[in-house]
Structure 1
Amino acid sequence: MEGAEGAPVVTPVIETTGLTKAYPRVTALDHLDVTVGAGVTGLVGANGAGKSTLIKILLGLVPATSGSARVLGHDVATEGTAIRSLVGYMPEHDCLPSDVSASDLVVHLGQMSGLPYAAARERASDVLRHVGLAEERYRVMGGYSTGMKQRAKLAQALVHDPRLVLLDEPTNGLDPSSRDDMLSLVRKIGEEFGIAVLVTSHLLGELERVSDHVVVLDSGRLLRSSATSDFLHATGSLLVEVQGPHDADRLLGQALVDAGLTARPAEGSMIEVEVRDDHTADLVRDLTVDLGLGLVRMQERHHRIEDVFREGGAGSVQPV
């Protein structure tokens, strides 16, 4: 399809208009208008923000109260079967049969997605290797660690070579090392496999690391949707860390204020200094030297996604 100027028209991966899901005592989604394109999109919000409800509606598993949504050009209200044939889904909660091996599960779900048995076995072997379960794929999953179970859930979402995968809290319950491994896999799916990804999390730092685009939900409403880089813009201030006496940061902070700069304590023992002009960094450096302190680092301060929640008043979303 081409536009008026001959350029191809790119169909959004996901598009919702006025999407609402109301239950008797709570509105899970409230007139949600959002568009998701290719790449890795992070869907962030506190528990209860509507993330899982949105995914279930997009899969055609739960009907919306009002509004509309399309996935890969298909209407979720009438084309749920077509959507599910094109989409992989990794649920948040543990749903694996304990007496079945990962290989048998992934092969079975590949067949359910329409693959012949031989093709399903080949695809299962490939995806289990990609997610790091090559050696353990024949073991029953009842003996798997949490990290291994999450990898098996990811493998079954990929076995039928989907155009989009929906990953609901894929790092849930993982230790820091396993979480890093899972995030690397999520990024690999988007970058190397070329599959569009919508990944949910209530941990802000995770989405900063892996997402091209971030959608922020608060109590079922859209708080913000933009490129991840737009969240991380410079704030016009410097973060300064010095070493020396136990009160080194206080000494430098007072010297900066005496020199006419605005300075305040920041995270840890750092100081945040507002940039007055092009010479602010030089003045910070010179004052540090004059006080006999060591300059450990000086860098531009950037907004993080968590700042959006503070400014927007969203619920308890956790930084990483």
Structure 2
Amino acid sequence: MVTVTVIETVQLTKSYPSVTALDHLDVTVGPGVTGLVGANGAGKSTFIKILLGLVEPTSGSARVLGHDVVGEGAAIRARVGYMPEHDCLPADVSASDLVVHLGQMSGLPYAAARERASDVLRHVGLAEERYRPMGGYSTGMKQRAKLAQALVHDPQLVLLDEPTNGLDPSSRDDMLALVHRIGHEFGIAVLVTSHLLGELERVCDHVVVLDGGRLLQASATADFLGATGSLLVEVQGPTGADRLLGQALVDAGYAARPAEGTLVEVDVRDDATRDVVRDLVVDLGLGLVRMQERHHRIEDVFRG
């Protein structure tokens, strides 16, 4: 099976007089959902602007869907959808009118733009509200409208900049489900940025981590989430039950320490570790709520 390259950069560099925003970046992005991770100032926004052909690199090269970002920006933007982070919607315009207008700007005839707008607004959950002025929309509805306009011209790639920004937990889950559908059911490649790293673990097939304009790591999400060689144990009992178990494990010769909340983390020493934990829990008269492998998180890349 041939892997399609959606985005490819070679030694991509963008320098300004006082800062280097991107520093010799080598990145390859394929189909599915790819997360772009980095703190403010890591180079994410500059990277997206270069991919859209809006900013020229200082050196190196970048290709999007086979097109060079220098000189072929119009061809790229015809095939790419972009959802900006910030609120940029005209308050007195309906979502339907906006999406139809932007569909026409992308080259669709009026009738086709209206049909596509109706479809994408339904897919993002704005079918009932599409004729209302967007000034009265909630934050979640505004994010859905921005997503709809990025999809109206049936792009091959969408760039989503912080799509869950400002959303409550329920709306965030809905947006993440939409992002997953776009990448896996609609067959549109997705590059999504987020500062909430746990979100990317949930929906992304691959993750690209930037730090100060440099590539820190790029790999399949599953590679980030490999087992750490330790167990997380939760017990039920009187106050301090977790400390009792932790001390008992240390007394038994195991490396154990407090983890999140009242969890106890214990290093797996051998195949008998799980049995030892269970026996100690019973001996202490505690209830075993759960015992599971601890996995790396994307945050661990930054700590390392």
Question: TM-score, structure 1 length as denominator?
Answer: 0.94
CA distance in 2 between partners of 1:223 and 1:154 (Å): 29
User: Which of the residues 152, 160, 164 maps onto 1:159?
Assistant: 152
AA matched with 1:127: V
Deviations 1:137-159 (A, max 9, x none): 00111111111111000000000
1:182 aligns to what?
Answer: 175
AA matched with 2:227: A
User: Which of the residues 69, 76, 82 maps onto 1:76?
Assistant: 69
Aligned 8 A contact 2:233 2:263 in 1: yes
1:3 aligns to what?
Answer: none
Aligned 8 A contact 2:7 2:62 in 1: yes
CA distance in 2 between partners of 1:203 and 1:48 (Å): 15
State the shift of 1:260 in Å.
Answer: 1.1
Q: Which runs of 5+ in 1 are unaligned?
A: 1-6, 312-320
AA matched with 1:298: M
1:119 and 2:112 are equivalent in the alignment: yes
AA matched with 1:91: P
1:143 aligns to what?
Answer: 136
2:260 aligns to what?
Answer: 267
CA distance in 2 between partners of 1:246 and 1:56 (Å): 53
2:231 aligns to what?
Answer: 238
Aligned 8 A contact 2:4 2:31 in 1: no
State the shift of 1:11 in Å.
Answer: 3.9
State the shift of 1:59 in Å.
Answer: 0.3
1:20 and 2:2 are equivalent in the alignment: no
CA distance in 2 between partners of 1:260 and 1:187 (Å): 45
Q: Number of matched residues?
A: 304
1:93 aligns to what?
Answer: 86
Q: Share of identical aligned residues, percent?
A: 86
Aligned 8 A contact 1:241 1:249 in 2: yes
1:202 aligns to what?
Answer: 195
RMSD: 0.9
State the shift of 1:12 in Å.
Answer: 0.8
CA distance in 2 between partners of 1:141 and 1:28 (Å): 34
CA distance in 1 between partners of 2:115 and 2:188 (Å): 19
1:173 and 2:143 are equivalent in the alignment: no
1:132 aligns to what?
Answer: 125
AA matched with 2:33: V
1:279 aligns to what?
Answer: 272
1:48 aligns to what?
Answer: 41
1:250 and 2:257 are equivalent in the alignment: no
User: Which of the residues 249, 261, 283 maps onto 1:290?
Assistant: 283
Structure 2 SS opposite 1:151: helix
Aligned 8 A contact 1:11 1:73 in 2: no
Q: Which runs of 5+ in 2 are unaligned?
A: none
AA matched with 1:77: V
User: Which of the residues 292, 298, 303 maps onto 1:305?
Assistant: 298
CA distance in 2 between partners of 1:147 and 1:249 (Å): 40
CA distance in 1 between partners of 2:204 and 2:196 (Å): 13
Structure 2 SS opposite 1:114: coil
Provide runs of 4+ in structure 1 moved above 6 Å. Answer: none
CA distance in 1 between partners of 2:7 and 2:291 (Å): 41
Structure 1 SS opposite 2:70: coil
AA matched with 1:284: V
